Structure 1
Amino acid sequence: MVLSPWPVVASFAAAGGTVLLIRHLWRYRGKPGADWFLASLGAQATWSLAYGVALVTFAEPMRWALEVLSWATMAGTGVYFLAFALAYTGRGGVVDRAWWGFAAFPILVGLIGATNPVHGLAWGDFEVVRVLGVAGAAYDMQLWALLAATAGVLLITVGSLLLFDTVVSYGPLYRREAVAVGLSTFPPVAAVLAWLYGVGPVPAVSFVTVAFLPHVALDAYAFVGSDMFEFHPATRRVGERAAIDDLGAPVVIVDEQRRVVTLNGAAERAFGVGKSAALTRPLAALLGEDGTDPTETDAVTVQSGGRRQIFTVTTTPLSDAGGTHVGYTVVFQDVTAERRREQRLGVLNRVLRHNLRNDMTVVQGFTEAAAKEVDDPAVRDMLDRAESKAAELVALGEKARTVERVLDSDPRSERVDLAALLETVRAEHASDGDGTGTVTVEADAVAVTADPAVLQVVVGTLLENALEHAGEAPTVTLSAERRGGAVAVTVADDGPGVPDHELDVLSAGAESALEHGSGLGLWLANWGATALGGDLSFDTREGTRATLTVPDGEKRGPAGGS
């Protein structure tokens, strides 16, 4: 039995190992970079097999043809590996735009080698020599061959650097595997350079296919069992870019000197400037600010295209992977319509509330005085009704004032004894009301952490609503109990129940011309419940049970209330 020389065995082993790796990775076709990596492995397997056969082929024409095939597949291995690295790390757009160049490069190298006898651009004085028991090839490389081989080495090097940059920048997931893929290129690249520039004792034999053995071993470590193609940096890279470019709000990235580094399309449109014109300009100048640093303010006003827009500004420090501060991400939110709406509502609220409180108080006083001077019962009845309506409007104005005071105040959070709070609400009704109706309090030692002012307004509003709409001499019960991690405060009456259309308005979240409530009471209770982080519900099957449920973040103490 004749044993083949070890370079031949190593070449065939590299080809076989590469084919097995291709078989394992075949299921990942279509994943970012996978097709190009399979193409690179295919060229590598062909190269290893062709060179293994070449090493036992002493017939010069056949040996020359196999040498040409080795050069073509060498070029394919390098260029396809670069395409893989680009696509895998989220730079697939480069490959998509120039895919024909990646595909044509190995074909061009093969054609120049095949037609070398005509032009002599690749090599000269081709000769088959016996060395180490194999058929080596000795020839003088010309400029084209040197450039093609050097380009292949550079392509592989660039691809490896892309992988290293990605694993350093994008966290630990598959970091060891990606590093292994990058390192796997070092043995064959070193072997190519040594053969290309005649370094070593046997220049007529290329040991690149032998160096594929550790290359295949490292690739197998990276891909077999790791599902590396199931997660790829392309998702994160494209996602980060899309998070800025596709965001509807203007986003500007600035350096530490607040000079524009990049901005998204929304910022270009909002500020009326193209990206190329905005780069390196101070952000303040871009926004038309005179000396004011936009990153130090909460809002800016921008005049662009004949429009005046107001933006809130959110500035976030930007650091690199080493934690060094390198700039800021500045996000602008257009609040022009919101600010104008708030301004209009503020003016209307102040004017109407002022008129209701002052003018209707005057109307109420004159109407009451006139009623005392009139003897005609019909006229007195009309004046009494007018006085009643005036009183209702004054009360409505006070309710609107309460809404503004409660909802616009700074929230507080303290421990509230609900039994004491319910007694306070009952006492306020007794002192303000006309004495009709019975109000009782049923509450154990229950406490909750909440804003006491808002809580008292909500319960008082529900009690007022119950006494007003529950009929003659109603019975109302105020109660509180703990329900798991929350506290429920219930206002129950024995009246006819809140009309469905009143509750439908709350459920819809807005009033319309055909569906609206009778006042601000339920809205005030609903808004207050939301401000407390709670929920307001109604049960109208037997009377009305309005239940305010407020979450309690504080643990219960031994006293039972807290």
Structure 2
Amino acid sequence: MNLDLPWLALGSFASGFGSLYLLAQLRAHWDKPGARWFVATIVTQTGWCFSYGAALLVFDPTLRLALEMVSWLGIIWIGFCFLSFALGYTGRTNVLESGWYRAVAVLPLAGTALVVTNPLHTVVWQGFRVVPTAGSAGADYAVLPVGLLTIIVAMLFVSFGTLLVFDTVVSYGPLYRREALAVGLSPIPPGAGVLLWAGGVGLVPAVNLTTLLFLPHIALDLYAFVRSDMFEFHPATRRAGERAAIHDIATPVAIVDEQGRVVNLNPAAERMLGVDKREGLTEPLNSFLAGDDIATDGGSSRASIEAGGRHREFKVRQTALRDEAGTQLGYTVVFQDITDEIRRERRLEVLNRFLRHNVRNESVVIQARAELLAGELDGEQSDHAATIERSVSRLVDSGQKARTLAEAGAGDAGLESVALADLATGVVESAREEYGGSVTVEIPDDLRLTTQPALLEILLTNLVENALQHVPDAVVTVGAKVDGDDVVLTVSDNGPGVPEHELGVLERGRETDLNHGSGIGLWLVRWTATTLGGDLDFDTNDGTTVTVRLPQERTAAEAA
């Protein structure tokens, strides 16, 4: 054994220690996607470097051959480990865990068996002999076709893994562009070394220079994976998000080409259409719909689809698919099930008609008869009739308010420029005539806002009436001022304040059996304020002050 460490062995040992340093730097990321396979890659690389460095110091043919076999195992397994890392790192765990990929592991296993047993059959190499080279124990032997095939398979694994990482990371854009270049370049030096050695090309063909060429490979990996935290922001997150955004969601999604032929279906779309994706590919999407055709024009439409013997109604939205050059390739078609929504709308329409006509008409009859009885009866009986008349009157009034809100709508057709002082004065005069009390309007005459006047009138009417109805000898002030782009409208009274349970119902946004509001007035205030794009606030410290902040110039898009 030559105890003078030659430069070839020193270079191999340097690569081994560099690999260990890279491994230590990545310790905090070992639980990241693909990281364990990357660790396996570096461990294989480390073993290869140290074993070959030792081999260059050993001139005993038997021990030298054994160490050469370890180097061969490094060549065989480093490609498979790196490809596995690339699949995990880029989020392709479905491929990594698939049965066919496990079958691919047979290739390095078979290569391992052939290398270990080569002295028995010599199908990988033959004619092994130790050749002193540059002070090192070189090895001269003929690599046979099976051996070359084994090396080529390993290099293909490395190449494919490099392409996966390079392509995926580049797709991040400028974030990791230089790091992606480093990842793409890092396998080139050792890969070239393997191919030159296998082909017997180079200044020292009896020595495999691959382990020395791991040094630039390690430096590039340190730059890519340690300096820039590429393991911290890995592509697997985005790939999982893309899969969840289409594949895992409950909303049916179909990808079609410009002719409307199916290119892809997510599982929800397969269930909706009652078709297996493989059977549906290249078939027109319209062929799976019941009676309704979808025009592939990027627009929105509605479609009736029969699934499981039941008809469902869907709102269909299309989004154009384009490549980076802007060329249109097809459409993403999203189906939103609106069957239940349509049924609710129809039930509400029926209920609304019933309340508007039947209940209102019957209430008016009861109110009129109660009023007649109150006038004809005397004493306690007259009081009972008057109570009935007042209760029915309140019921009719609440129905009128609800109907007014329903009929007012929320479309952009109702947008107008409104003189707030004039609108408020009209509301106040009407309320004062009905309920009495003192109401003052403190709004500048020139204050105008673009809004939906019908809803704004409902809002003001209910605020003023609420104060006059519930506060004896009420003193109410209606004020407004401009604050930036908003109009701040206030209605104040001198009463005891709105009860906490009433405000609690409004804040929660729903009523319960044990905690409910006393009427529809405050609900109308909240609904109209929200529809007008405003913010609502109640201050009950000294009387009640209701503040509504409304946009002064509301656009049609905002109203819609």
Supply the distance in 1 between the matched residues of 2:263 and 2:390 (Cα, whole angstroms).
67
What amino acid sits opposite 1:16 in the alignment? F
- Identify which of 308, 315, 333 aligns with 2:318: 315
Supply the distance in 1 between the matched residues of 2:28 and 2:539 (Cα, whole angstroms).
59
Could you tell me which residue of structure 2 aligns to residue 493 of structure 1? 493
**In the alignment, is the contact (CA less than 8 A) between 2:476 and 2:491 conserved in 1?**
yes
1:22 aligns with 2:23: yes
Residue 230 of structure 1: how far off its partner (Å):
1.0
- Identify which of 161, 164, 176 aligns with 2:163: 161
Change (3 A) 1:484 1:296: closer
Supply the distance in 1 between the matched residues of 2:379 and 2:222 (Cα, whole angstroms).
104
Supply the distance in 2 between the matched residues of 1:198 and 1:59 (Cα, whole angstroms).
23
Could you tell me which residue of structure 2 aligns to residue 422 of structure 1? 424
Supply the distance in 2 between the matched residues of 1:514 and 1:223 (Cα, whole angstroms).
60
Matches for 1:350-429 after TM superposition, within 5 Å: 350-356=353-359, 358=361, 360-361=363-364, 374=376, 388=390, 391-410=393-412, 416-429=418-431
Deviates most, 250-259 or 159-168: 250-259
Change (3 A) 1:268 1:102: closer
SS state at 2:26 partner: helix
Number of equivalent positions: 550
Supply the distance in 1 between the matched residues of 2:200 and 2:366 (Cα, whole angstroms).
110
Could you tell me which residue of structure 1 aligns to residue 336 of structure 2? 333
Could you tell me which residue of structure 1 aligns to residue 525 of structure 2? 525
Residue 152 of structure 1: how far off its partner (Å):
0.8
SS state at 2:156 partner: helix
Change (3 A) 1:500 1:166: closer
What amino acid sits opposite 1:174 in the alignment? Y
Change (3 A) 1:251 1:131: same
**In the alignment, is the contact (CA less than 8 A) between 2:170 and 2:180 conserved in 1?**
no
Could you tell me which residue of structure 2 aligns to residue 298 of structure 1? 301
1:277 aligns with 2:279: yes
| Deviation per residue, 1:34-56 (Å, 9 max, x gap) | 22222212222222232233334
| Deviation per residue, 1:313-352 (Å, 9 max, x gap) | 2322223344433222222222222211111111221232
**In the alignment, is the contact (CA less than 8 A) between 2:193 and 2:210 conserved in 1?**
yes
Supply the distance in 1 between the matched residues of 2:305 and 2:143 (Cα, whole angstroms).
65
Supply the distance in 2 between the matched residues of 1:391 and 1:33 (Cα, whole angstroms).
73
Matches for 1:461-540 after TM superposition, within 5 Å: 461-471=462-472, 473-482=473-482, 486-540=486-540
Change (3 A) 1:508 1:291: closer
Change (3 A) 1:508 1:78: closer
Supply the distance in 2 between the matched residues of 1:57 and 1:514 (Cα, whole angstroms).
90
| Deviation per residue, 1:455-496 (Å, 9 max, x gap) | 22201121122223323x533221224567654322223345
What amino acid sits opposite 1:531 in the alignment? T
- Identify which of 135, 138, 142 aligns with 2:137: 135
CA RMSD of aligned residues (A): 3.3
**In the alignment, is the contact (CA less than 8 A) between 1:87 and 1:95 conserved in 2?**
yes
Could you tell me which residue of structure 2 aligns to residue 349 of structure 1? 352
Residue 273 of structure 1: how far off its partner (Å):
2.7
Change (3 A) 1:196 1:502: same
**In the alignment, is the contact (CA less than 8 A) between 2:451 and 2:553 conserved in 1?**
no
Change (3 A) 1:39 1:370: closer
Deviates most, 84-93 or 209-218: 209-218
| Deviation per residue, 1:229-287 (Å, 9 max, x gap) | 11111111112102222212222222222222222222233333333333322222223
Could you tell me which residue of structure 2 aligns to residue 245 of structure 1? 247
What amino acid sits opposite 2:345 in the alignment? E
Give the alignment's TM-score, normalised by structure 1.
Answer: 0.87
Supply the distance in 1 between the matched residues of 2:60 and 2:122 (Cα, whole angstroms).
21
- Identify which of 195, 198, 204 aligns with 1:196: 198
Could you tell me which residue of structure 2 aligns to residue 457 of structure 1? 458
What amino acid sits opposite 2:532 in the alignment? L
What amino acid sits opposite 2:468 in the alignment? L
**In the alignment, is the contact (CA less than 8 A) between 1:48 and 1:209 conserved in 2?**
yes
Supply the distance in 2 between the matched residues of 1:205 and 1:72 (Cα, whole angstroms).
17
Identical-pair percentage = 48
Change (3 A) 1:220 1:408: closer
Change (3 A) 1:47 1:410: same
Supply the distance in 1 between the matched residues of 2:380 and 2:47 (Cα, whole angstroms).
111
**In the alignment, is the contact (CA less than 8 A) between 1:502 and 1:517 conserved in 2?**
yes
What amino acid sits opposite 1:143 in the alignment? P
5+ residue gaps, structure 2, are: 555-560
Deviates most, 184-193 or 220-229: 220-229
Could you tell me which residue of structure 2 aligns to residue 31 of structure 1? 32
| Deviation per residue, 1:515-555 (Å, 9 max, x gap) | 4444432221110011122233434455443332335579x
| Deviation per residue, 1:367-408 (Å, 9 max, x gap) | 767877x58777776666665555444433432321112244
Residue 31 of structure 1: how far off its partner (Å):
1.5
Change (3 A) 1:70 1:288: same
**In the alignment, is the contact (CA less than 8 A) between 1:72 and 1:107 conserved in 2?**
no
What amino acid sits opposite 1:307 in the alignment? R
Supply the distance in 2 between the matched residues of 1:434 and 1:49 (Cα, whole angstroms).
99
| Deviation per residue, 1:199-236 (Å, 9 max, x gap) | 34543332222322322222222234222211111111
Deviates most, 443-452 or 205-214: 443-452
Change (3 A) 1:290 1:402: closer
Supply the distance in 1 between the matched residues of 2:415 and 2:154 (Cα, whole angstroms).
69
Could you tell me which residue of structure 2 aligns to residue 558 of structure 1? none
SS state at 1:135 partner: strand
**In the alignment, is the contact (CA less than 8 A) between 1:169 and 1:321 conserved in 2?**
no
Could you tell me which residue of structure 2 aligns to residue 120 of structure 1? 122
Supply the distance in 2 between the matched residues of 1:527 and 1:226 (Cα, whole angstroms).
51
SS state at 2:316 partner: strand
What amino acid sits opposite 1:263 in the alignment? L
Supply the distance in 2 between the matched residues of 1:49 and 1:435 (Cα, whole angstroms).
98
What amino acid sits opposite 2:172 in the alignment? Y
Supply the distance in 1 between the matched residues of 2:163 and 2:409 (Cα, whole angstroms).
57
- Identify which of 260, 264, 268 aligns with 1:262: 264
What amino acid sits opposite 1:353 in the alignment? R
